[in-house]
Structure formats: C-alpha cells, structure tokens
C-alpha cells in the first residue's frame, strides 16, 4: 500500500467516525433522524425554479440531499438535490430556532433534510428558499465523492450505482431515456393491437436461440432447469392459441462472456404478428426506432460509437449476399457447391477454422468477419443462410436462404426478425440438427422441444416475429459505448471470494498452532509434447522480442467462441492489440490488470477482421486427453516493457 493510499484511508476512517459521533449525539438527545417516517413536500425544485412567479413569496416545503454548503457568519447557503433537480437554501440564524441553526451548522454534505420557507431571489438572481424551519431526515455516514472529480473509478460507479446517480446527472439522464424508450415501445405496440404477456423464466429445456444457458436446480421436483435464453417459443405457442399479436418485454439470461456490448442478463422485446412476414417486421422496426428517437430526443440525428448516425426513415435493405458482393466482390449467388463457397471465403481472408464447411456458413462468415464492421448507418441485412437460422422460414425462391433480417447500426446488431417457420416437419428436422451439434460438444446448440412441435402440428398461421435488444437501443439513444452504462446494476465480478470464518467452540486453553503441510500437486496424469530435437541457432532465437505487458482492457471478440481481444501496455507508450484463443479458459474481466508475457515483433496477423500484433505466452499440456492451458502471469511489480532473457 502506497503512503498516499494509506493517508487517504486514514482520513476516510476519521471522517466516518466523526459522522457517527454526530449521529450518536443526536440519538442520545432523543433526536434520532432515523425514527422519522414522513415529510410532506409541497413542491419540487424544478417546479419552484420553473414557475417563480407562481411561488414568489409563498411558503413551500422542500426536501432533498445537501450537495453543497458554505457558511457566512450568521447565514449559510446550501444546495439540496431532489428527484427533479437542485435548489438553493438560505438559512439565517434569526429566521430559524437557535437549536435548528446550531444543528444545521453541523450538517454534512450528503445529509437529507426537509425545510419550510418562502421563495425569493438572491441579489445574484438565483431562485432560493429562505428557510424558516429545517429537519434532519437522514444522516449520511459516508462522504460523497469530491464534487468536481465525481466517481473517477469507472468500475466503482457500476458497483455503487446509488452513488453514481447522486453525483452524475448524465447517468440519471441515461436511465430516464431508457425508461422513456421502454414506455414508448409498450405504447407503440399497444396502439397497434399487440397484447403484452409474461412467459416462464425457468424452463425444462433451453431453446429459442443459440446460446449457453444458466442451469439451476428445482428442489421440490428434483430436476435441473434452465433460465430462459429467449422468449420466442412460448410466444409462438400463443400465436397457435389464437392471440394474433403478442409481445413480451423480459429479462434474458445467457451464460456467456461479458464485454462492452454483452451482459449475462439483459432485456429484450419479442413480438409476433400472425399473417405478417419479415417485410412487415422491417417496416415496424423502422417506424418504432425512428419514432422513439424523434419523441424522446426531438431529432433523428444521434452520435454513437464515435459516428454520426441518421435514424430518419428510409433505411437501406440488402440481402447478405448483396452486402458481401458489394464489399468483398464475392458473388455467392453464382456459387453452387460447398467446396467452392468455402474456398471463396478463404480467398478473401475469412477464418473458417472450426466452422462447418457449407455454402451457408461460408456466406455468413464472410459477412460476419469482413462486412458487418462496415455497417454504420441503419441497414437491414436480409435473407440469411438456413444453416444459421434454425427457426426461420426458408425462402421459396432459394431453399438455402431464410426470410430473416438483422438491423445493424454502428457495427452492432440491434434486432433480429423472421418470417417464422410454421412447418412442424421442417422444424423438427432443424431441431434434430441442433441436437446433433449439441452431442458433438456445442453447448450453445438448441435442444429438442417436442411440445413446441406438438403446438405447430395444430397449425400456426404465417407469422412475422421480431426481437429487439432494449439495452442496445438505449445505448444508441443515450450515446453510451458500454452496455454497463444503461443497465442499473450490471453483473460484476466479486471483489473477493473469501469464505466466512467458521466459529469454533470456546476452549479453556488454545492449543499450539499446527503448521499445515502443503498438499503436493499431482502431476501423474500430465501429458507433455516431446521436446523438439531440432536446434534453433542463437541468432534466430534472439530476434524474438519477449516483453512484459500489462493488460489494460480485455473483451470477447464478437461472434467468436475462442478469441479474446487484449489491449496491452508494452512500455512503448502506444497501446498494442493482441488476440488470443483462450476464452475457453478465462473470462475477459478477470484478466484486466494482469502482468503477462508477449512476443511483440511478430508481423500483424488478421483474425476475425482484427489485426493481432503479437502473441501472448501460455503454458499448454494435456491430462487424460484434454487440453489444459495457463496464461503466464507475472509479479505485478515487473514494469511493462521489461525484456525477457
């Protein structure tokens, strides 16, 4: 611990004690603020300031948190913050009781008070309340962050959102916009005859999307259950049941990595309309999002991810094959065989490693790895391959494709829609394909849902379906680059995982401590590759530049199950990007701040459309046929850029 940190902690400890002493003194005098249960407010700060002529000279009751305070002898000015804004208070010793003034002088920034007084303007023209009585409603035992610096620790504002909301009007604005957007979505759909419903969060199978689920256990039934990864299959059951326009705004849970665009639990709106197709869903989505921007922001023009975006209606609509041909020059519609399609994808630098070698997958990977990053303005990408669309209806013009679209803005998927598959035989075959993939180890593949097949066999009308990410739309409308800025309480890694101390029964005399022997590590099942027999001359070896690097940021590479993107400090003063296929072993957030080893003079290597400039060093071995990997991590005291010999 540095001397500066030690001094700061000591000062904080002293402040905490002083505030507790103030509370204790009040409690001993029988004036415990925490015993008060109610305060009647007659006006908000914004109402008083916004309609001064109405309130001038009149007595009001206001309440809020003290945000600033300055004394001038027998007069004290302070600002209190309520749900609508801030207003200045003017407290004079001759306008309140002697006890009230003495108490007020001891109040701290962060305390919550209620006041009564008349409205006036100071000599500087600021609307204020001339206080005639004041009551302490809640004692703040912790100091707020310093006003001008606020919460400089970004992670802390996510862990302590309550402090962030006190200090940051911008954060408050973001969540107000999010709330307005959700309200707008409900109103928009209800005006068009949609019925809102609620469907199960816990399910006996995982379905409706391709994702790894959270698994929990139901004690009474003694069965494992899955937290939903989508609301789709239950909502389409309701279409079968005759509810022709249905939607749900609900929480979704996916047991996957976390980064600036992904949180394990997030919010979607899924909607389904009988006798409609994906073209109707495109029209609806465009109307909804552009209309929300105009109503909430008063403009179609927004800035997001460093880009200026126009949400004015009239968004382009391209098939996936058209987009790939336009940007990569590869015409997949002129290709018939799987082999030719895979070769064409590889020829333009697409990584097909671990991807099923089919025409559909080759087309999708071309778009996903090379073209998606070019989609800045709102663009509908339509006609996705059937290989990656297990719930969408095949195109009658080309059975390799489905009537599906995704909307992209600033390289981010905003929503996903289909002409829904209503053929129970075709649907069962696609479920069986997903089951095969799951049996091969793909834990994101879907399961067989026999009850859903049963529902389709009763007959489902032609249906259009649309899923929209509420969090992504909130990011767009607020201009936030991280999903954590639009989720009030995002998932965070615990600061510590220490187990609670076990309580031992009291003994007359404590026994002498027994030193516990360290348990030996069992290496008996370790399998290592044979050592290389070919020698490398020293001159060749010495040209490899091994350096210590510090991980500044780490996130999952979009659409990749293996790759993590590291931004590291290599001591040069410029950030270095390195990709490493170790996501199976580590979550990105646990690696931030770590000290690692990298080779820094390798030529840039494109991976998933990102240049990887170097290689992080890991230790790899096998145990009982399974690979084990450990990223080499060093003592944090070793500086970035230190050279390894």
Q: Which domain holds residue 580?
A: 526-631
CA 430 from centre of chain: 31
Does a structural domain hold residue 339? Answer: no
State the pLDDT at residue 152. 65
**pLDDT single digits (tens) 558-586:** 767 789 999 999 999 999 999 999 998 88
Does a structural domain hold residue 347? Answer: no
With cut-offs at 50, 70 and 90, classify the pLDDT of residue 107: very high
State the pLDDT at residue 307. 95
Q: Which of 99, 128, 144 is the last residue in one of the domains?
A: 144
Residues 35 and 111 in one domain: yes
CA-to-CA distance for 381 and 383, rounded, in angstroms? 7
pLDDT above 80 (res 8): no
Number of domains within the chain:
3
Residues 108 and 196 in one domain: no
CATH number for the domain spanning 291: value is: 3.30.930.10
- Phi first, then psi, for residue 580 (nearest 5°) are -145, 135
Does a structural domain hold residue 340? Answer: no
Does a structural domain hold residue 42? Answer: yes
Using DSSP's 3-state secondary structure scheme, residue 86 falls into: strand
**Alpha carbon distances (Å) from 54 to 129, 363, 380, 546, 549:** 14, 66, 51, 72, 63
Does a structural domain hold residue 641? Answer: no
Q: What percent of the chain has pLDDT over 90?
A: 74
**Alpha carbon distances (Å) from 46 to 35, 52, 77, 393, 465:** 29, 10, 18, 53, 43
Question: String of b and e for 518-546 (b: at least 16 CB within 10 Å)?
Answer: eeeeeeeeeeeeeeeeeeeeeeeeeeeee
Residues 286 and 393 in one domain: yes
Q: Where is 97: in which H helix or E strand?
A: none
State the pLDDT at residue 149. 54
CA-to-CA distance for 121 and 130, rounded, in angstroms? 9
**pLDDT single digits (tens) 224-234:** 999 999 999 99
Residues 410 and 535 in one domain: no
**pLDDT single digits (tens) 494-505:** 876 554 444 444
The residue with tokens 């006609």 is: 383
CB atoms within 10 A of CB 591: 19
**pLDDT single digits (tens) 304-356:** 999 999 999 999 999 999 999 999 999 999 999 999 999 999 999 999 988 89
Structure tokens at 271: 């909607």
Q: Which of 431, 455, 485 is the last residue in one of the domains?
A: 485
417: nearest Cα among 454, 381, 443, 375: 381
Compute and round to an integer the Cα radius of gyration of the chain: 31
Whole-prediction pTM:
0.79
Contact 129, 113 (CB under 8 A): no
Residues 277 and 416 in one domain: yes
Contact 138, 107 (CB under 8 A): no
Using DSSP's 3-state secondary structure scheme, residue 615 falls into: strand
Contact 230, 446 (CB under 8 A): no
Q: Which of 91, 109, 144 is the last residue in one of the domains?
A: 144
**In the 3-class helix/strand/coil scheme, how is 268-311 assigned residue by residue?**
EEEEEEECCCHHHHHHHHHHHHHHHHHHHHCCCEEEECCEEEEC
Long-range contacts of 168-173 (CB under 8 A, 24+ apart): 171/485, 173/478
pLDDT above 60 (res 199): yes
State the average pLDDT over residues 128-153.
85
**pLDDT single digits (tens) 445-502:** 888 999 999 999 999 999 999 999 999 999 999 999 999 999 999 998 887 655 444 4
State the pLDDT at residue 441. 81
With cut-offs at 50, 70 and 90, classify the pLDDT of residue 146: confident
Torsion sign (Cα): 402, 403, 404, 410: positive
Does a structural domain hold residue 494? Answer: no
Residues 585 and 440 in one domain: no
Long-range contacts of 334-343 (CB under 8 A, 24+ apart): 335/359, 338/362
Residues 538 and 618 in one domain: yes
CA-to-CA distance for 211 and 445, rounded, in angstroms? 7
Task: Give every CB contact of residue 369 below 8 A, 6+ residues apart in sequence.
Answer: 350, 351, 559, 608, 609
Residues 480 and 591 in one domain: no
Structure tokens at 317: 């609509």
Residues 299 and 175 in one domain: yes
Residues 452 and 534 in one domain: no
Residues 254 and 294 in one domain: yes
Does a structural domain hold residue 446? Answer: yes
Q: What percent of the chain has pLDDT over 70?
A: 94
CATH number for the domain spanning 109: value is: 2.40.50.140
Question: What secondary structure does DSSP assign to 111-149, as a single string?
Answer: -EEEEEEEEEE-TT--EEEEEEEEEEEE---SPPPPTTT
Does a structural domain hold residue 353? Answer: no
CB atoms within 10 A of CB 231: 27
Structure tokens at 604: 């840039």
**In the 3-class helix/strand/coil scheme, how is 4-67 assigned residue by residue?**
HHHHHHHHHHHHHHHHHHHHHHHHHCCCCHHHCCCCCCCCCHHHHHHCHHHHECCEEEEEEEEE
Residues 263 and 405 in one domain: yes
State the average pLDDT over residues 116-121.
97
Question: What secondary structure does DSSP assign to 414-471, as a single string?
Answer: EEEEEEB---HHHHHHHHHHHHHHHHTT-TTS----HHHHHHHHT----EEEEEEEHH
Helices and strands (H, E) in the chain, number of each type: 16, 28
Structure tokens at 429: 């075959």
With cut-offs at 50, 70 and 90, classify the pLDDT of residue 153: confident
């Amino acid at each position: 611990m540095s001397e500066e940190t030690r001094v700061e902690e000591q000062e904080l400890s002293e402040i905490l004690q002083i505030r507790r002493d103030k509370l204790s003194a009040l409690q001993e005098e029988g004036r415990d603020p925490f015993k008060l249960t109610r305060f009647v407010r007659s006006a908000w700060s914004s109402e008083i300031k916004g309609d001064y002529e109405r309130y001038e000279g009149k007595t009001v009751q206001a309440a809020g948190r003290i945000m600033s305070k300055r004394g001038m002898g027998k007069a004290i000015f302070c600002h209190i913050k309520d749900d609508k804004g801030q207003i200045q208070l003017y407290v004079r010793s001759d306008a309140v009781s002697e006890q009230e003034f003495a108490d007020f002088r001891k109040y701290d920034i962060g305390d919550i008070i209620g006041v009564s007084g008349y409205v006036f303007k100071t000599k500087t023209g600021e609307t204020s309340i001339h206080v005639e009585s004041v009551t302490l409603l809640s004692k703040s035992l912790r100091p707020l962050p310093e006003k001008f610096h606020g919460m400089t620790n970004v992670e802390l504002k996510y862990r302590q959102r309550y402090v962030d909301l006190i200090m940051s009007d911008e954060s408050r604005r973001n969540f107000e916009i999010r709330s307005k957007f959700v309200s707008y979505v409900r109103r928009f759909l209800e005006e068009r005859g949609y019925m809102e419903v609620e469907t199960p969060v816990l399910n006996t199978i995982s379905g409706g999307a391709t994702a790894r689920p959270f698994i929990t256990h139901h004690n009474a039934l003694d069965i494992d259950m899955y937290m939903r990864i989508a609301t789709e299959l239950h909502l389409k059951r309701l279409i079968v049941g005759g509810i022709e326009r249905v939607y749900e705004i609900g929480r979704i849970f996916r047991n996957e990595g976390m980064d600036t665009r992904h949180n394990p639990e997030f919010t979607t709106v899924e909607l389904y309309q009988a006798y409609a197709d994906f073209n109707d869903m495109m029209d609806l989505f465009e109307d909804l999002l552009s209309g929300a921007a105009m109503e909430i922001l008063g403009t179609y023009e927004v800035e997001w991810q460093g880009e200026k975006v126009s949400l004015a209606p009239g968004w382009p609509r391209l098939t996936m094959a058209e987009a790939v041909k336009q940007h990569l020059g590869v015409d997949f519609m002129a290709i018939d065989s799987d082999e030719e399609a895979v070769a064409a994808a590889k020829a333009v630098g697409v990584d097909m490693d671990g991807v099923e070698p089919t025409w559909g997958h080759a087309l999708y990977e071309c778009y996903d790895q090379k073209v998606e990053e070019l989609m800045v303005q709102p663009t509908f990408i339509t006609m996705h391959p059937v290989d990656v669309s297990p719930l969408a209806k095949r195109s009658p013009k080309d059975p390799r494709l489905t009537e599906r679209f995704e909307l992209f803005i600033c390289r981010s998927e905003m929503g996903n829609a289909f002409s829904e598959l209503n053929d129970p035989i075709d649907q069962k075959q696609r479920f069986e394909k997903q089951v095969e993939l799951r049996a091969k180890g793909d834990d994101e593949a879907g399961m067989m849902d026999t009850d859903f097949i049963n529902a389709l066999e009763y007959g489902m009308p032609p249906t259009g379906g649309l899923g929209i990410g509420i969090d992504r739309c909130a990011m767009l409308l607020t201009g936030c680059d991280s999903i954590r800025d639009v989720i009030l309480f995002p998932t965070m890694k615990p600061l510590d995982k220490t187990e609670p101390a076990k309580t031992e029964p009291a003994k007359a005399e404590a026994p002498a401590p027994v030193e516990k022997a360290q348990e030996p590590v069992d290496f008996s099942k370790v399998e290592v590759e044979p050592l290389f027999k070919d020698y490398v001359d020293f001159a060749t070896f010495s040209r490899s530049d091994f350096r210590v690097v510090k991980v500044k940021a780490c996130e999952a590479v979009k659409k990749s199950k293996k790759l993590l993107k590291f931004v590291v400090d290599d001591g040069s003063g410029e950030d270095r990007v390195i990709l490493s296929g170790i996501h199976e072993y580590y979550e990105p957030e646990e690696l931030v701040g770590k000290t690692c080893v990298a080779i820094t003079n390798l030529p840039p290597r494109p991976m998933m459309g990102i240049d990887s400039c170097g290689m992080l060093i890991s230790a790899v071995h096998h145990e009982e046929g399974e690979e084990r990997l450990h990223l080499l991590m060093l003592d944090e005291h070793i500086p970035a850029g230190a050279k390894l010999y």
